[in-house]
Amino acid sequence: MSWIQRLQGGLAKTRQTIQKSLRRLGQGHLDPVLLEDVEAGLLQADVGVRTVEQFLQMVKDQTRLFNATDPVTVLQTLLMDILRKGETEPLEQLIRQGPRPFILLTVGINGVGKTTTVAKLGHRFSQHGLTTLFVAGDTFRAAAIEQLDIWGKRTGIEVIKHKQGSDPAAVVFDGIVAAKTRNVDVVLIDTAGRLHTKINLMDELKKIKRIIAREMPGAPHEILLVLDGTLGQNTIAQARQFHEALGVTGLALTKLDGTSRGGVVVAIVDELKLPIRLIGVGEGEADLQDFNASAFVEALLPTATPPA
Ligand SMILES: Nc1nc2c(ncn2[C@@H]2O[C@H](COP(=O)(O)OP(=O)(O)O)[C@@H](O)[C@H]2O)c(=O)[nH]1
Ligand SMILES: [Mg+2]
């Protein structure tokens, strides 16, 4: 099954609700109950209040003007306009244009998919002929270091690690030194999402960022905030917090396979104005995609006529 099919599968229920009421709207039944149905369906999919209100206004305006505008097309167009702003060039392109080593720092709360995304990226970069180093910056759980180690073996990528409980900034420092010595293209830094100490997570991450900048001016070249797509609107507040503290440069949205809240991508692009570098669509190393607005709209709201 392709990821679009998985995404479509996850959104099936919500999509059915939206489509049913959209179709009736399309037949000219612009009654308040139907509009409420559409509104509820879109909000359930976590599309976000602002986009939903914009859409309802557009439908009302256009219906008044033309009397027979297809609401599906209206919504598709609106979603495309928003989502297109989240598109960006592939990371490989940034890396090839950027300085060497290219230092990518992942941040995000616990369980969102940071370690998995680091692993998937390493795999992907290898396939593009870029040499990579993993840095086990989540030193707070032994399991986190082990997890990255397993991925390292699986992908043939070296892991720079310290023992559990050590200072994450120190392992990051070692990682950068190693990357320069080995002359690798990319350093992928995994970090913790929750600390078992009294230190504040943001302060810890700021410290890591400072160490990186000290060892390589201009770095980190990418601060990739990993967000869990199944968490819906909660991700927005989370993202704001990380962005304020660290200056996020790109987003990775994970677990978009099989979620009913995939519409949150619309709200994220609309609210945060940050590029979506990647979307995670499964647990395997190959389940990482570039974000493509039209593919996403098609998954969320397929065109009525199936391809011949
Ligand atoms: N279905 C699915 N699961 C994912 C995806 N990304 C990560 N996961 C799973 O989410 C869980 C937490 O991932 P992990 O990388 O350990 O999160 P971290 O705490 O942020 O490092 C693991 O079971 C992963 O396999 C994804 O894109 N799709
Ligand atoms: Mg982790």
Domain of residue 59, CATH code: 1.20.120
Q: Are residues 77 and 97 in the same domain?
A: no
- For a ligand 1 pocket test, name from 283, 287, 289, 290 the mutation site with the most ligand atoms within 8 angstroms of its C-beta: 283
Residues with a beta carbon under 5 angstroms from ion ligand 2: 114-115, 144
pLDDT in tens, 127-165: 999 999 999 999 988 899 999 999 999 999 999 999 999
% of the chain surpassing 70 pLDDT: 94
Q: Tokens standing for 106?
A: 């992942």
Within-domain flag for 298: no
Task: Report CA-CA distances (Å) from 78 to 42, 53, 55, 203, 294.
Answer: 13, 11, 7, 39, 12
- Both structure tokens of 155: 């992908």
What average pLDDT does range 14-25 have in this prediction? Answer: 75
Task: Quote the number of domains for the chain.
Answer: 2
**Residues with beta carbon inside 6 Å of ligand 1?**
108, 110-116, 193, 226, 254-255, 257, 280-283, 287
Higher pLDDT among residues 155 and 6, named by residue: 155
Candidates 241, 291, 302, 236; CA nearest to 267 is 236
User: For the chain, first and last CA: distance in Å?
Assistant: 19
Alpha carbon nearest to ligand 1 atom 13, residue = 113
Distance of alpha carbon 151 from alpha carbon 161, whole angstroms? 13
Q: Are residues 168 and 259 in the same domain?
A: yes
138 Cα: distance to centroid of ligand 1 (angstroms): 15
Is the same domain home to 24 and 102?
no
Q: Which ligand is nearest to the CA of 168?
A: 2
Q: Does any domain span residue 142?
A: yes
pLDDT at 3: 74
Nearest to 115 by CA among 146, 141, 139, 148: 148
Residue 64, pLDDT score: 61
Q: Same domain, yes or no, for 105 and 163? A: yes
Report residue 216 as tokens: 């390589």
Does residue 268 sit in the same domain as residue 187?
A: yes
Same domain, 135 and 211: yes
* Same domain as 180, residue 47: no
Any domain includes 204? yes
Q: What is the pLDDT of residue 307?
A: 44
Strand pairing report for 186-191 and 102-107 = parallel
The pairing of beta strand 276-280 with beta strand 288-289: antiparallel
| Residue where a domain stops, chosen among 86, 110, 130 | 86
Q: Which domain-ending residue is among 86, 115, 150?
A: 86
How high is the pLDDT of residue 222?
98
Q: Would you say 114 and 253 are in contact if contact means Cβ atoms under 8 Å apart?
A: no
Lowest mean pLDDT among 67-71, 114-118, 159-163, 256-260: 67-71
**Domain containing 155 — which CATH number?**
3.40.50.300
Sheet hosting strand 222-228, strand order edge to edge? 158-160, 132-137, 186-191, 102-107, 222-228, 250-254, 276-280, 288-289
- Strand 250-254 and strand 276-280: the pairing is parallel
Question: Same domain for 37 and 107?
Answer: no
244 within domain boundaries: yes
Same domain for 287 and 190?
Answer: yes
Q: Are residues 123 and 269 in the same domain?
A: yes
pLDDT digits 0-9 by tens, 162-196: 999 999 999 999 999 999 999 999 999 999 998 76
Report the length, in residues, of the chain: 308
Q: Look up the domain containing 103 and give its range.
A: 91-292
So what's the pLDDT on residue 202? Answer: 94
Q: Do 36 and 132 lie in a common domain?
A: no
Q: Whole-number mean pLDDT of the chain?
A: 89
Which residue in the block uniquely carries the two structure tokens 């989240």?
Answer: 86
Q: For residue 189, is it within any domain?
A: yes
Q: Which residues contact 276 (CB under 8 A, 6 or more apart)?
A: 86, 87, 88, 250, 251, 252, 253, 265, 268, 269, 291
Give 64-105 pLDDT, tens digit per residue: 655 555 778 888 899 999 999 999 999 999 999 989 999 999
Pair (164, 239) in one structural domain:
yes
pTM above 0.85, yes or no: yes
What is the structure's pLDDT at 198?
63
